[in-house]
Amino acid sequence: MKSIRTLTIALASLIAMPALAQDATTDTTSDAAGKRFAVVGGAAVLKPDRDPAPGLKIDGDVAPVISASWYATPNIAVELWGAADKFNHRVRADGAGKIGTVDQQPIALSGQYHFGTADQVMRPFVGLGYYESNFSNETIGADGAHVGLETAKGAIATAGVDFNINQTWFARADARYMKGDAGVRVAGQGTGEELTIDPWVVGVGIGARF
């Protein structure tokens, strides 16, 4: 949770940066190029890339997501992204159907490169960073003992494209891949085992630049 608090502080810093960047920028090629801050709100589907264990499946879910970015240059940005609500996953076992549910809420900090110029209609981008995903409300049982998951941590890769509507508003579609494991606890005790689900997150949203 300490890392998540650190990322939250980073978001507050990003919010404060546009005023400083506006004074410092000398790029006057277009209004879009001079804007250094962007926020995006939308929805995303989180779907595990693999089954966590033979005979065990975790379903995907949809949740609202939000991001804030600061552009150090028109092409290089730092993005803080996360789920505004929890993804709720149904856990199923072969031959037994649903055996429980679990919630997760990821947050990530990434560096991004945006291709082309700020005022072109379609603008693809890629990114790489670090994420954490907190698991909660587990209702999975094993021999009467509660099964819990520790926070997953690891790398996140992003690819997407922005569609400029005007100099302020744009639409976004992106895909993110999170690579990391979550420690497994049974009856509150660590087992030394890790659960690998490596989810994809595919989303769409509407953004604004300032």
User: Which residues have C-beta within 8 Å of that of residue 76, sequence separation ≥ 6?
Assistant: 111, 112, 113, 114
Which candidate, 193, 99, 197, places its Cα nearest to that of 139?
99
First to last CA, the chain: 30
CB-CB contact of 83 with 120 (8 Å): no
**Average pLDDT, 10 consecutive residues per value, the chain (210 residues):** 49 43 42 85 93 82 98 97 96 84 96 95 98 90 72 96 96 96 78 84 97
Any bridge partners for residue 200, and if so which?
A: 47, 177
**Residue 5, pLDDT score:** 52
Q: Is the pTM of this model over 0.95?
A: no
